[in-house]
Structure 1
Amino acid sequence: MPQPSPDGIKDHVFSRTGRVLEFVWSGWAGLAGLCLLAAVWQAGHEAYGQFILSSPLQTLQEIGSLAQDPEAWKITLLTLQRAVTGFALVAISGAALGLLAGYSPAVMRLASPLITVILGVPPIAWIVLAMIWFGGTDATVRTVIVIAALPVVFLGAARGISTRDRGLDKMAQAFGAGPVRRFLTVGLRQTTTTLFPAFALALGTSFKVAVMAELLASAGGIGGALADARTNLDITKALAWVVVSVGLLIVVEYALIHPVKGEVDRWRRAAQPWGVKR
């Protein structure tokens, strides 16, 4: 097997370093948005008072107190594993079914009414049904996550593969690429425009639905902690748990989805200059 040349290794290192630095630099825009949200939050606190809305600083202090409590870590990790495992089920099954439907118009026509029905049922109704079926268990939370988020990934995958450039597929076939290779190198890569935004939306739905199901089903986790804060009328602790939940979502999204998207979409950015893109 031929060994890579030193120049090839150097170019690979520089390319990977550039993508990492660009990813880190892009975080400043997100940080500016969070600072704007904190400013609006502080204005609401000053307008309505402590009983209605705690200040961002008080909420951060409460999060610091939670970080010193081992029980709070168990609560956080419980919700995290429920949301992430539910999202994994959604990502795998939704993408597979969506790709199948995108390649087959007959399957897409058959699935469209079913997707409409699933989207038309509120998540809270699925929570009630899942509570009857499974009680206050992990299965309740994961079931509702799958039902609520799967249509988004399904439609993203189906839309991406059905709108692919078929000319590229024919060109690859002319060069001798088989069906599997054409799918992996041409068809699948063209789905990222719609598939990865669908993944991001499904991940956010997974965390929201997980907390909602935990609260209504008394299944522990962050939802159970929010229920306790509601009972005690502790607005600061309730906001602290909300911030923790959103923080988990941001960490998982930027540690899982965005790096994978950056690696898969390298071919789209090959001719673009480094820096902020339009």
Structure 2
Amino acid sequence: MRAGRPLAVAFWTFAGLAALAAAWQWGAVAFGPFVLPTLPETGRAMVALVASGKAGPALLATILHALGGCVAGGVVGLVVGIAGGLALPVGAMSRPVFTALLGTPPIAWVVLSLLWFGPGGMAAGVTVAVTAAPIVFLAALQGVRSRDAALMEMARLYRAPPLQRLTDLVLPTLADFLVPAIATALAFSFKVAVMAEVLSGADGVGGGIATARSHFDLPETMAWIVLAVAVLLVADGLLLAPLRGWRAAREGRALPVAAGG
């Protein structure tokens, strides 16, 4: 049963992508080239972008904006979230602040970043950081607060070192909340980075989309979008697959213990 699971996941993943491609092609035929280009047109535009040397530097710039901002905002959100979960005053003060940040539209941060830093990559990175920080913060806060109070009390009674309490009691529970939150923050980071690049005139995929839009080149616009999504999927697989694997392995080890208890 478990041996065939990876094959089944791969099959249904391919089926989902095939259905999306079929819907895309149907939309192109039904609504015409001024609404949606066909798959072959988009494919030729992608090949042209790669062959011309435009795709590589643009994708690298977007990756730096997205991952740099996501890491910066994620670290801040993680540290403050853990501190807020462990110390009530920190959590009570920081939660409304991060909730307000989460509720502020990213477009507002793009405009503010443009006023503060001017056009360029800094605006994209700052916007991504402010978007990612509250997502990770709320997950970290909830994860720490969901720790087993009885086990924490036992650790205190037996005078377990603070570092051991963190690694053995807090972090395993925290991972259940953090892995989905980091995946969400990563996806938002690429979307927000591209949007900020479009509006700020920065280098990257957003700059390519802005140029293609000014030329009314819909196939090239869609080609840039597909390239950005492909990079996001690769980044998700490389960065988050190990975390998901560790989490699944930890849950697998816990099941026999729970069954035996």
Same fold (TM over 0.5): yes
1:96–1:271 CA distance, 2 compared to 1 (3 A): closer
Instruction: Give the counterpart of 2:134 among 134, 148, 151.
Output: 151
> Residue 111 in 1 paired to residue 94 in 2?
yes
Aligned counterparts, 1:106-255, within 5 A: 106-173=89-156, 177-255=160-238
1:25–1:172 CA distance, 2 compared to 1 (3 A): farther
Q: How far did 1:23 drift?
A: 6.3
Q: How many residues align?
A: 255
Equivalent-residue separation in structure 2 for 1:139 and 1:230 (angstroms)? 23
Aligned counterparts, 1:73-112, within 5 A: 73-112=56-95
Q: Which runs of 5+ in 1 are unaligned?
A: 1-17, 274-278
> Residue 62 in 1 paired to residue 72 in 2?
no
> Residue 39 in 1 paired to residue 43 in 2?
no
* Contact kept in structure 2, 1:119 and 1:151, CA below 8 Å: yes
Query: TM-score, with normalisation over the residues of structure 1?
Result: 0.84
Equivalent-residue separation in structure 2 for 1:71 and 1:38 (angstroms)? 25
Equivalent-residue separation in structure 1 for 2:183 and 2:156 (angstroms)? 32
- Residue 71 of structure 1 corresponds to 54
Equivalent-residue separation in structure 1 for 2:7 and 2:202 (angstroms)? 37
Q: Which runs of 5+ in 2 are unaligned?
A: 257-261
Equivalent-residue separation in structure 2 for 1:61 and 1:254 (angstroms)? 26
1:254–1:270 CA distance, 2 compared to 1 (3 A): same
- Residue 11 of structure 1 corresponds to none
| Secondary structure, aligned partner of 2:253 | coil
The percent identity for this pair of structures is 35
Regions of 4+ moved over 6 Å: 21-25
Equivalent-residue separation in structure 2 for 1:163 and 1:127 (angstroms)? 35
1:57–1:271 CA distance, 2 compared to 1 (3 A): farther
Equivalent-residue separation in structure 1 for 2:32 and 2:42 (angstroms)? 14
1:88–1:271 CA distance, 2 compared to 1 (3 A): same
| Secondary structure, aligned partner of 2:160 | coil
Which stretch of structure 1 is more off in the superposition, 26-35 or 127-136?
26-35
Equivalent-residue separation in structure 1 for 2:6 and 2:141 (angstroms)? 28
Q: How far did 1:132 drift?
A: 0.8
| Secondary structure, aligned partner of 2:202 | coil
* Contact kept in structure 2, 1:192 and 1:265, CA below 8 Å: no
